[in-house]
């Protein structure tokens, strides 16, 4: 958005908190930001306020702005179909219209009186249907014949702290079994020092290539990814890659959040396919041995990988909707400018 000429009043990283404990630690600062943001928006008198994700931050802000007569649009329906379904009441109070990433969401919201439009997922437009595997490998200095595993332990500090250790140890086990493996690890901005510290502590001899960002190239180039649950798993699916989904939280966060889900699946690819198409290893199940075992299962079964790629191609076609155009049209209708 900055590249398109927007002004960033605060760094977006301020909202990169996860879990109750992390949120409480940053709550005073976030409340000040939200209050100041509300004042600036009302002073500017825009035609519409568009809240992008961050529901715990945006819903109260949108509801307040809407009560002041401002039209509001919320982009990305919260996963009320997976957990914390009561959030739909806050969404109904906050948004005049919701832009949904997934096709089943508008009907669900309609049952609660919330107007919504399915706009598809922007990643499905951005990621090519035909995976540029050779191009990505050339860009990363990898050979066409290399067997490549991409490690994606997350983009938050808390994720790196909890997920990187078992993932790195699992990679060590894989390398011991398959010495020819090439390992790449895309590092989110500002996290290189933390990732390097985890490597020194948990896998000091691991020959992994650290990349500054470039997660899409890593996913396009790899044969398999070990990946933290989240949006990255959907991107991996759009690159038609087999994966092992890994997720761990701090003990207190996990105790507060467990049991609140409604679905048997945790990862987005499985939720969208409504099936365990890829393995999920959550919390205590996310041991290095289990991760390495599931990874080996993919590497040893090319036919299974090919079948998965076919399913993910159909998912890609479903989510590819020209999101920018559909979102623009929906916002224009809210403004009465269709």
Structural domains in the chain?
A: 12-120+321-334 (3.40.50), 127-319 (3.40.50.2000)
DSSP states along 118-156: E---HHHHHS-SS--HHHHHHHHT--TT--EEEEE--SS
In 3D space, the residue among 116, 215, 137, 139 whose CA is nearest the CA of residue 182 turns out to be 137
Q: Please give the average pLDDT of every successive group of 10 residues along the chain, which has 338 residues.
A: 92 74 79 95 96 93 96 94 83 97 94 96 97 97 97 92 96 96 95 96 96 97 96 97 90 58 78 95 94 98 98 98 97 88
**Radius of gyration for the alpha carbons in the chain, expressed in angstroms and rounded:** 21
Reported as half-sphere exposure (CB side, CA atoms, 13 A), residue 20 has a value of: 8
**pLDDT at residue number 195:** 96
pLDDT in tens, 85-119: 889 999 999 999 999 999 999 999 999 999 999 99
Task: Quickly tell me which residue has 């623009």 as its tokens.
Answer: 328
- Tally Cβ neighbours within 10 Å of residue 84: 16
The predicted structure's pLDDT at residue 10: 92
| d(C-alpha 261, C-alpha 84), whole Å | 7
| Order of strands across the sheet that contains 148-152 | 208-212, 182-187, 148-152, 224-228, 243-247, 280-282
| Whole-angstrom distance, CA of residue 229 vs CA of residue 153 | 9
Q: What is the pLDDT of residues 141-193, one digit of tens each?
A: 999 999 999 999 998 888 999 999 999 999 999 999 999 999 999 999 889 99
pLDDT at residue 12 in the model? 83
Buried b (16+ CB within 10 A) or exposed e, 232-255: bbbbbbbbbbbbbbbbbbbeebbe
- pLDDT at position 18 is 63
> Which contacts of 311-317 are long-range, i.e. CB under 8 A and separated by 24 or more positions?
311/273, 311/277, 312/237, 312/238, 312/240, 312/241, 312/269, 313/129, 313/240, 315/237, 315/238, 315/269, 315/272, 315/273, 316/124, 316/127, 316/129, 316/237, 316/238, 316/240, 317/129
Q: Which residue from 226, 228, 242 is spatially nearest to 310, judged by alpha carbons?
A: 242
């Amino acid at each position: 958005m900055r590249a398109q000429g927007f002004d960033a009043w605060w760094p977006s990283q301020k909202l990169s908190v996860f879990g109750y404990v992390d949120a409480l630690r940053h709550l005073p600062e976030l409340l000040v930001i939200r209050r100041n943001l509300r004042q600036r928006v009302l002073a500017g008198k825009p035609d519409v306020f568009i809240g992008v994700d961050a529901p715990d931050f945006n819903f109260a802000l949108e509801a307040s702005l809407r009560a002041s007569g401002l039209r509001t649009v919320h982009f990305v329906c919260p996963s009320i179909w997976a957990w914390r379904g009561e959030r739909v009441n806050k969404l109904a109070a906050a948004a005049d219209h919701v832009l949904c990433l997934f096709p089943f969401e508008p009907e669900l919201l309609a049952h609660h009186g919330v107007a919504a439009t399915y706009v598809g997922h922007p990643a499905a437009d951005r990621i090519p249907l035909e995976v540029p595997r050779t191009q990505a490998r050339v860009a990363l200095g990898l050979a066409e014949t290399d067997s490549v595993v991409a490690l994606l332990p997350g983009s938050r500090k808390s994720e790196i702290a909890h997920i990187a250790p078992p993932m790195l140890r699992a990679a060590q086990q894989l390398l011991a079994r398959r010495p020819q493996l090439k390992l790449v690890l895309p590092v989110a901005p500002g996290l290189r020092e933390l990732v390097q510290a985890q490597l020194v502590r948990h896998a000091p001899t691991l020959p992994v290539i650290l990349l500054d960002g470039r997660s899409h190239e890593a996913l396009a180039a790899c044969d398999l990814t070990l990946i933290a649950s989240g949006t990255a798993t959907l991107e991996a699916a759009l690159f038609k890659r087999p994966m092992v989904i890994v997720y761990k939280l701090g003990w207190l966060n996990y105790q507060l959040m467990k049991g609140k889900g409604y679905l048997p699946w945790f990862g987005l690819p499985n939720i969208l396919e409504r099936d365990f198409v890829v393995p999920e290893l959550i919390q205590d199940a996310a041991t290095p041995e289990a991760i390495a075992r599931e990874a080996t299962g993919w590497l040893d079964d090319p036919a299974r990988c090919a079948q998965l790629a076919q399913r993910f191609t159909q998912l890609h076609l479903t989510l590819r909707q020209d999101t920018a155009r559909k979102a623009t049209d929906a916002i224009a209708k809210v403004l009465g400018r269709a």
